[in-house]
Amino acid sequence: MSSLSEFSERKIFGTDGIRGVTNTYPMTPEISLALGKVLTKYLSERTSGHVKILVGKDTRLSGYVFEQAIASGITSMGGDVLLVGPLPTPAIAFLTSNMRATAGVVISASHNPYTDNGIKIFDSTGFKLSDGTEIEIEKMVLGDECMPSPSLTGKAKRIEDAVGRYIVFLKNTFPKNLTLEGLNIVVDCANGAAYKVAPIIFEELGAKVTTIGTEPNGTNINVDCGSLRPEILFEEVVRSGSDIGIALDGDADRVVFSDENGNEVDGDHVLAICSSEMIETETLSTDTVVATQMSNMALENYLNGHGLKLERTRVGDRYVVEAMRKIGANLGGEKSGHLLFLDHSTTGDGLLASLQILSIMKRREKSLSELAGIIDMFPQVLNSFEVKEKKPFEQIPGLAELTRESEEILGKKGRINIRYSGTELLARVMVEGENESLINEIASRISSVINKNIGTREL
């Protein structure tokens, strides 16, 4: 079971930056302004050059609020701001490094509703800040206010060619001897940050593209579209007779695929497909793939059967990246669709992952269903439900005993993972095993014990 001890010091930052309901603490203009000030001060004390911070966002309406607040904080402390507007989170990571910025800031709540927003920070190399750095910055935000100098004021400017830079970068990750000619692709951009760039990339590489979710209005991000509602994509792939479907989330750092038959291909399938390709091309480093506790046992069995190891981390793509960097791995990701190719990028990128899969389809001349058929997933059930508080699981009466008994029943043919969402008041209970009825029963019993103690409604 997970515990909350690792987050005991945190008051603003969660598992992936700051996130919450707009105009509700901590996602307020005041906190954003203070964060802009503190980040500039923090960086100026640790770098020799002038502080230059790149700021991007997704398409949700409140992006205007936080973009201006953060930019004001940065410039008030003498830092400069590079505004790139709506772009995928991985684009901000790339541009931060590419443009030699001191840091990058993304204003996005990823797959959450438009009423939420969040702030993620990248360092100058395009990697997310460590837990220790976030805690240090958080203490400064909650402490004494930074006092700007009357004589030191920065400036902000908009980078007009940011979209083009990112498109060129992504196209350069696709093999130059291949094109996408002859492929019909459905891409769902979730009315989010990739609504401009995604169709252009696939079309310029030669594909015929059908689009969903490319008309953002500030409030329709992730609404009945994108990776949260992939069934819409599945239906369109079948209806249009397309070869593949690509469903992104609001900030395009994760992706869910549809094969030509309208069947879901998730992150675990992608890791299996890409590891197989990288073994063949001798490009997989350390003979290890990194994934989280949520990845299916079938992936681990597949890798072990090919002489590879699966290194598991706690949930969150930042922890996958940390483990990859520590051991020197270049392939990792999450079942949910955060996929990491460190030879090309520093963070999860749904479009980059799509191009990797498309290149394998073209090189091997196989359909996505054929590629995904290399592993058969174990049945897995995931229960998510609202809770009043994130009480340490070890303090919930009867939970430890029930979990231990259930693990004994499953033996080596199943797994249990219980955790809280890092961004919402939700408990998540995952049970995996060969017997579908058994894992459903176990998940239901564990969920009931948690819900009875801290749940908000009957399950």
Q: What is the CATH number of the domain that holds 412?
A: 3.30.310.50
Q: To 5 degrees, how large is the angle CA 355–CA 233–CA 361?
A: 30
Do 194 and 308 belong to one domain? no
Q: Is residue 260 part of a domain?
A: yes
- CA dist 60 → 50, 217, 248 (Å): 31, 8, 15
Do 23 and 102 belong to one domain? yes
Q: Is residue 343 part of a domain?
A: yes
The domain total for the chain is 4
Chain segment 55-111, per-residue pLDDT in tens: 999 999 999 999 999 999 999 999 999 999 999 999 999 999 999 999 999 999 999
pLDDT (0 to 100) of residue 459? 75
* Residue ranges of the chain with per-residue pLDDT less than 50: 1-8
Residue 430: name the closest of 376, 393, 369, 381 by CA: 381
Do 214 and 68 belong to one domain? no
DSSP letter (8 states) at residue 59: S
Tokens for 238, please give them: 């079948």
Q: Is residue 56 part of a domain?
A: yes
Identify the CATH number of the domain in which residue 318 sits.
3.40.120.10
pLDDT (0 to 100) of residue 6? 44
Do 400 and 320 belong to one domain? no
Q: Is residue 317 part of a domain?
A: yes
Q: Is residue 344 part of a domain?
A: yes
Do 56 and 112 belong to one domain? yes
Q: Is residue 65 part of a domain?
A: yes
Query: Which of 244, 264, 284 finishes a domain?
Result: 264
Element (H, E) at 42: helix 29-44
- Environment class of 184 (CB within 10 Å of its CB; exposed 0-12, middle 13-18, buried 19+): middle
Do 241 and 302 belong to one domain? no
Exactly one of 97, 108, 110, 258 is catalytic; which is it? Answer: 110
Do 38 and 154 belong to one domain? yes
Residue 215: name the closest of 236, 194, 245 by CA: 194
Q: Provide the Cα torsion 302, 253, 356, 295; round to 10°.
A: 0
Tokens for 97, please give them: 């490094």
Tokens for 73, please give them: 């904080």
- Residue 440 to residue 438: CA distance in whole angstroms: 5
Asked whether 1 and 408 are in contact (CB, 8 A), the reply is: no
Do 314 and 249 belong to one domain? no
List CB contacts of 64: < 8 A, sequence separation 6 or more: none
Do 244 and 126 belong to one domain? no
Whether residue 110 lies in the annotated active site: yes
Do 302 and 433 belong to one domain? no
Question: pTM of the prediction?
Answer: 0.90
Query: Which of 349, 365, 398 finishes a domain?
Result: 349
Q: Is residue 320 part of a domain?
A: yes
Do 338 and 426 belong to one domain? no
- CA dist 285 → 76, 352, 456 (Å): 45, 19, 46
Q: Is residue 178 part of a domain?
A: no
Tokens for 121, please give them: 């920070």
Q: Which domain holds residue 132?
A: 5-160
Do 156 and 40 belong to one domain? yes
pLDDT (0 to 100) of residue 28? 97
pLDDT (0 to 100) of residue 229? 94
